[in-house]
Structure 1
Amino acid sequence: MSLAFSISRRLMSMDDTSWRRHANPWSVYSRMTLLPLFALAVWSRVWIGWWSLAAIACVIAWTWLNPRLFQLPRHEDGWAAKAVQGERIWLEGPPEAVVARHERAVVVLGSATVIGTIVLGWGLVTLNLSATIFGGIMAMGAKLWLVDRMTFVHDAIASDHERA
């Protein structure tokens, strides 16, 4: 498991109920607002000065609250639910056969997410709009692809259980 996954897991400190609530499509799709909202909150220092810290704190609170806010999903076989379940499986350490099939893609997409986030951060620090937009698109695109990849992890585990 990569360092980024490990840090993310510790910071979110999600229990079984949180994970199950996070599988609600409203939770998954509304989390896609996090990076743009964070970028806007940081950039807002230009317009509102130190009050931007309040905006940043709100985004951080939304990040933590989001997986706990929504009801349990009605169905657990949709794309969003499979993505969340796959992510949980990956973070908890899937069987070696699953790791072998998906590790390269997870590492590449995770690395692209980190690189995009670094470019985004540099753009936000220097108020470089092009770097901010490019980094945000790169980070979000790679993260969404990684989330989609987690559906394959879920399906691999499900098919292994069906064969057993």
Structure 2
Amino acid sequence: MTLGKRIASAFRMDDDTWERHANPWSVWSRTTALPALILAAWSRVWIGWWALVPGIIALLWTWLNPRIFGKPTSLDSWASKCVLGERIWINRDEEPVPERHRLAPNLLNAVAGIGNLVVIWSVVQLEVWPTIFGAALAYAGKLWFLDRMVWLYEDMKDATPEYRAWQSQTVADRAT
């Protein structure tokens, strides 16, 4: 089982949740999670143990985000295709992805992971510039990864009946 599949499982991402997460509002608003977590951790300086409250709220936001938005009426946006590509990427054990799509996503996830490690270290040390650098590295890796997921989706959207079904649902089906 891939790490992505484990994370999706931990977040209880079922088909309905994935469909809702394909809403561009879900994709773009989820980018607020890292700054919220950074601010919550940094706030320990000002509010002590009460910093756990905004930290828990930020973590809750990451779980709630893919659930609170409605299903998109169209899957034509870049953000929607990112989510569909992520689903394909996570499913690569069952349905292999083309060779040209295997290396870059792993490297970009590593870049994002290193950025997150820098953020954690910097926030613990209360270092502003390394925190900003780490967050920029994390976002660069993640957003570039998402761009690769659009490419993966475009290359594989007809590879299986399941992937084809994502495109063939009617607008009315998605709106319900």
Amino acid at match of 1:34: A
Query: Is 1:137 equivalent to 2:136 in the alignment?
Result: yes
Is the Cα contact below 8 Å between 1:35 and 1:140 reproduced in 2?
no
Cα distance between partner residues in 2 of 1:67 and 1:133 = 26
Q: Which structure 2 residues correspond to residues 2-151 of structure 1 after superposition, within 5 A?
A: 2-3=2-3, 5-93=4-92, 95-96=95-96, 98-151=97-150
TM-score, scaled to structure 2: 0.85
Q: How many residues align?
A: 161
Any unmatched runs of 5+ in structure 2? 161-176
CA shift, 1:148, in A, is: 1.2
Q: CA offset at residue 160 of structure 1?
A: 4.5
Write the distance in 1 (CA, Å) between the matches of 2:102 and 2:55: 33
Native 8 Å contact 2:118 2:134 kept in 1: yes
Partner Cα distance (1:120, 1:106) in 2: 21
Determine the C-alpha separation between the residues in 1 that align with 2:46 and 2:98. 46
Whole-angstrom distance in 1 between the partners of 2:159 and 2:48: 54
TM-score under structure 1 normalisation?
Answer: 0.91
Distance 1:78 1:24 in 2: 9
1:99 to 1:45, Cα distance in 2 relative to 1, 3 A: farther
**Structure 1 stretches of 4+ moved >6 Å:** none
Query: Matched residues in 1 for 2:60 and 2:26: separation?
Result: 14
| Higher helix residue share | 1
Q: CA deviation at 1:66?
A: 0.2
